[in-house]
Structures are given as C-alpha cells and as structure tokens.
C-alpha cells in the first residue's frame, strides 16, 4: 500500500541563499496574486475571448510570456511558479466545494513559501547531523538532519515561519500497513486534558509546557506594548513573540501526531463530535447550561488555540485511519455531555463540575469527558447530521460576493 508522509527540517542558509530564497518567495507570491487577480476580475472576458475558463493550465501558458518579458521573473526557476498557480487552482476548487472561503492574496512575510517537484531535487547526507538538498538554480542548501528520509520524494516545499526557513519533503512510501484490530472508540475533546477516550484513557496533554511558553510570550508582548512604534527593539520583540508561538504550535502538533497514531493503531472505528454543529464555546465554558470555572482565562485566544488544535487532531486522525482502511465517523454531539452513559438520563445537573459527572437519576459517577466519549461512541447509530448545513453560513456567503469586485 502506498502511503504519504511529510518530513520537515530546519534549513541553515548562507546570506546569499537567504536573499535568493526571499526572491523566490517574492516572485511566487507575485505569480499567485496575479493569477488570483485575473480569476477575480477578468474571468468573463477570458471566457468570451478564449471560449474556455481560466485554469492553472491556461495561466501556466501565460506565465511563459510573462517570463520572456521580465528578467527578474525568468531568473527564478519555473516550477515553483507553476506550483503557485497549481495552489491557486486547488484554492478555487476548495472554495467552489464550500470547503474554504474565497482565496485571498498571499502576503509578504506571512505566506513566504515555494515548492519544487521531487524529480528536480537531490538529497545527500553530509555527516551524522547534517544533510543537504540540491534545488534547481539555487544549489545545495544544508539542513539539520533529525531523522532519515524514507520513500520517494513527491515534492519539496520551502517555507519561512518565525523560526526561520524550513524544508518539507512530501514522500510516498510503499509499506504494509497492518489493519487495526476490530474495536470501536469514542473521543471527546476536553478542556484540561485535550482528549478523553470512551475506554477511560485520558492521554496527558503537555499543558504545563505550553503554559510556560504562553506566559513567556505574554511577558514579551507586555514589554513590546511599551516600545515606540517602528523602533528596532519593538521589531525584535515582535519576532521573539512569533518565535514562541511557532514553538507552541510545534509542541501541540507533536502531541497530536503521537496520540492519533496510537488511536489508529488500536481501533478501526473511531467516533468524534462533528465540529460543524458542536457548540464551539463549549471548550471555554463547560456547557452553556453549566459554565465551567476559569471561563475568562479559557476564553478568547486560548479558546481559539484549543479549537485549532482539535481541527489538527481531526485531520491527522482522518488520514491515519484512512491508511489502514479504518473508519472515522462524525456524530451529532447533542446532549453528549449532559446525558448519563449508564442509564441515558439527560439532565444539566448531571454535570457536577468541569471534570465530575454524577447522574441525578442512577447515581453513576465518571469523569465528565469520559462519560461524554462513551455517549459519542453510542451516538454512531443516530441518524446522520443534515448535510445541507454547510460550514459557510449564508450570511458569510453574501458578504463574500460583495467582496468580489465586478470588472
């Protein structure tokens, strides 16, 4: 069976390469944004004149003309530019399938990235800790080799975050994946522990490690607020805060990878709550009926981080289950936190506190998140959620069409 894997490493660039990378990112961003502009403003004329719609193929053909005209575009290898147009095509596909909002222009310093195809690059090991990748027109760039590559390289993405430039290899590996044992599990996303399983397992989330980083970032942000706008000090502290955020994201992603791998190994049928209908304030305030403690502390930014973490968990779990031919079922989370997993009595008073569940009817006691996870597993037999309820609300849709200017 062919499976896909991603490997990401920190790059160590020379000053000259730094400049070159910025140039590549800049040209690819320009090509993407030009492509977006054409699709947004000129799609009608294009169809009238050419008798066909704009696609990444038509835009790639026009790219050749553009390259002939501008030397500084020609200086940059062509495939990353074609890949940028390919990304745009995917962004539109997702938009028309209501999976994403209308594509927005890529911004400097935020979306700095470009991509090559696997067959264009070469990889070599330098010594125990270092390897290098050879990129067309750029040459060899070094990266810190933390684990060996395995499989066939499909593509290579170079991207910059607050910690610097990174290389991400996307690989195809031929591997026998053992099917998971026939076992079903329900998973509830909690507040303190980020997930609870219907088996009673509650893998410990590295909340302390994250809190230390978040407090450090808060301190930087406080001192940053006192700096003069545009000052060197201020810019430096903005970068420091962003670097801490990147580290928080890394800790979370690692945890999500480890936990989802375990679940995919042990269960072939997994139920989670459907986020499209889940009350998104739940993670901050317990249940609406039964607000948790520390609501203020958990609301706002913290909450949005929790939600993003849960989405990532879901994405990783989904593909790991798919690799083994297992099933992920999203269930309607209605009442899953308020009903008793023992006698099915539904009552807001069942939830004694954020963590404690005690049924007022039968006296059944459990950790509230585990009780919810059992209910989520049980909800798999409930009728599916109405598919017509799209993730994009009608209100959002109308705003969107206003935003797309008429040529």
- We find the least distance from the C-beta atom of residue 380 to Zn ion, in angstroms, to be 20
Rounded distance between C-alpha atoms, residue 355 and residue 366, angstroms: 9
Determine which helix (DSSP H) or strand (DSSP E) holds 331, and give its type and residue range.
strand 327-331
The yes or no reply on residue 372 touching Zn ion (CB under 5 A) is: no
Whether 202 contacts 288, CB under 8 Å: no
| Nearest-approach distance from CB 361 to Zn ion, in angstroms | 5
Nearer to Zn ion, 264 or 340 (CB): 340
Q: Which is nearer to Zn ion, 29 or 334 (CB)?
A: 334
- Compare residues 166 and 364 and give the one whose CB is closer to Zn ion: 364
Interface residue with Zn ion, options 31, 34, 197, 359 (CB under 5 A):
359
Cα gap 165→251, rounded to integer Å:
18
Under a CB-based contact definition with an 8 Å cutoff, are residues 339 and 346 in contact?
yes
The Cα 328–Cα 320 span in angstroms is 10
Q: Minimum distance between the CB of residue 340 and Zn ion, rounded to whole angstroms?
A: 3
User: Which among 106, 109, 26, 34 has a CA at the least distance from the CA of 72?
Assistant: 26
Instruction: Tell me how far, at minimum, the Cβ of 332 lies from Zn ion, in Å.
Output: 21
**Could you tell me which residues come within 8 angstroms of residue 405 by beta carbon, excluding any fewer than 6 positions away?**
40, 41
Nearer to Zn ion, 139 or 200 (CB): 200
Question: Which residue, 81 or 341, is less far from Zn ion as judged by CB?
Answer: 341
Of 261 and 343, CB closest to Zn ion: 343
Q: Are 171 and 257 in contact (CB under 8 A)?
A: no
Tell me the two tokens of residue 123.
Answer: 């990889």
Q: How far apart are CA 180 and CA 42, in angstroms?
A: 51
Q: In this structure, which long-range contacts are made by residues 87-96, counting pairs with CB atoms below 8 Å and at least 24 apart in sequence?
A: 87/32, 87/115, 88/32, 88/35, 88/36, 88/39, 88/56, 88/59, 89/55, 89/56, 92/39
Active-site residue (options: 188, 237, 314, 332): 188
Nearer to Zn ion, 345 or 380 (CB): 345
Least separation, in Å, of the C-beta of 360 and Zn ion? 8
Question: Taking contact as CB under 5 A, which single stretch among the options 49-57, 70-78, 101-109, 359-367 is the one that binds Zn ion?
Answer: 359-367
Secondary element (H or E) of residue 216: helix 207-226
333-352: contacts with Zn ion (CB under 5 A): 340, 342-343, 345
Q: How many chain residues touch Zn ion (CB under 5 A)?
A: 8
Residue 380 as a binder of Zn ion (CB under 5 A): the answer is: no
Mark residue 139 as left, alpha or beta (left: phi above 0; alpha: psi -120 to 50; beta: remaining).
left
290 is catalytic: no
Let me know the angle formed at the C-alpha of 98 by 33 and 268, rounded to the nearest 5 degrees: 115
Of 2-10, 316-324, 364-372, 386-394: span binding Zn ion (CB under 5 A): 364-372
- Which of these ranges, 7-15, 253-261, 293-301, 357-365, lies near Zn ion under the rule CB under 5 A? 357-365
- Give 307 or 347: the residue with its C-beta nearer to Zn ion: 347
Options 56, 145, 237, 369, the catalytic residue: 369
Interacting positions 238-297 with Zn ion (CB under 5 A): none
Q: Is residue 364 part of the contact set for Zn ion (CB under 5 A)?
A: yes
Contact (CB, 8 A) for 141 and 121? no
Catalytic residue, from 56, 112, 145, 273: name it.
273
b/e code 297-321 from CB counts within 10 Å (16+ = b): ebeeebbebbbebbebbbebbbebb
CA distance 393 to 186: 28
Strand, helix or coil for residue 161: strand
- The minimum distance between CB 331 and Zn ion, in angstroms, equals 20
Q: Provide, rounded to whole angstroms, the least separation between the CB of residue 369 and Zn ion.
A: 17
Catalytic residue check, 369: yes
User: From the CB of 195, what's the least distance to Zn ion, in Å?
Assistant: 23
Residue 73 φ/ψ, nearest 5 degrees: -85, -35
Contact footprint for Zn ion (CB under 5 A): 340, 342-343, 345, 359, 361-362, 364
Residues involved in catalysis:
188, 273, 369
């Amino acid at each position: 069976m062919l499976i896909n894997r991603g490997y990401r490493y920190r790059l160590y660039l020379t000053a000259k390469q730094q400049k070159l990378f910025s140039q590549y990112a800049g040209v690819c961003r320009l090509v993407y944004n030009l492509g977006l502009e054409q699709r947004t403003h000129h799609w009608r004329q294009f169809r009238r004149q050419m008798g066909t719609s704009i696609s990444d193929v038509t835009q790639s053909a026009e790219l050749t003309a553009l390259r002939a005209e501008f030397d500084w575009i020609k200086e940059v290898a062509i495939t990353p530019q074609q890949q940028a147009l390919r990304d745009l095509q995917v962004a539109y596909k997702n938009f028309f399938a209501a999976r994403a909002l209308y594509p927005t222009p890529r911004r400097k310093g935020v979306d700095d990235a470009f991509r090559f195809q696997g067959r264009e690059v070469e990889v070599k090991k330098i010594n125990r800790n270092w390897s290098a990748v050879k990129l067309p027109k750029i040459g060899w760039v070094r990266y810190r080799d933390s684990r060996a590559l395995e499989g066939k390289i499909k593509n290579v993405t170079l991207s910059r975050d607050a910690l610097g430039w990174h290389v991400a290899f996307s690989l195809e590996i031929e591997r026998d994946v053992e099917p998971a044992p026939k076992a079903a599990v329900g998973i509830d996303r909690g507040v303190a522990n980020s997930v609870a399983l219907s088996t009673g397992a509650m893998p410990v989330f590295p909340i302390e490690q994250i809190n230390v980083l978040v407090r450090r970032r808060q301190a930087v942000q406080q001192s940053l607020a006192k700096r003069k706008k545009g000052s060197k000090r201020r810019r430096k502290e903005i970068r420091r805060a962003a670097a801490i955020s990147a580290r928080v994201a890394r800790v979370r992603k690692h945890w999500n990878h480890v936990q989802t791998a375990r679940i995919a190994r042990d269960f072939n049928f997994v139920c989670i709550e459907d986020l499209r209908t889940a009350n998104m304030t739940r993670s901050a305030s317990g249940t609406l009926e039964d607000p948790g403690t520390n609501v203020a502390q958990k609301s706002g930014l913290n909450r949005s981080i929790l939600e993003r973490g849960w989405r990532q968990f879901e994405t990783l779990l989904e593909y790991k289950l798919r690799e083994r031919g297992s099933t992920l079922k999203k269930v309607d989370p209605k009442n899953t936190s308020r009903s008793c997993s023992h006698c099915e009595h539904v009552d807001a008073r069942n939830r004694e506190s954020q963590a404690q569940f005690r049924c007022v009817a039968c006296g059944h006691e459990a950790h509230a998140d585990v009780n919810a996870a059992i209910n989520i597993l049980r909800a798999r037999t409930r009728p599916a959620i109405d598919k017509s309820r799209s993730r994009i609300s009608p209100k959002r849709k109308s705003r969107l069409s206003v935003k797309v200017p008429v040529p």
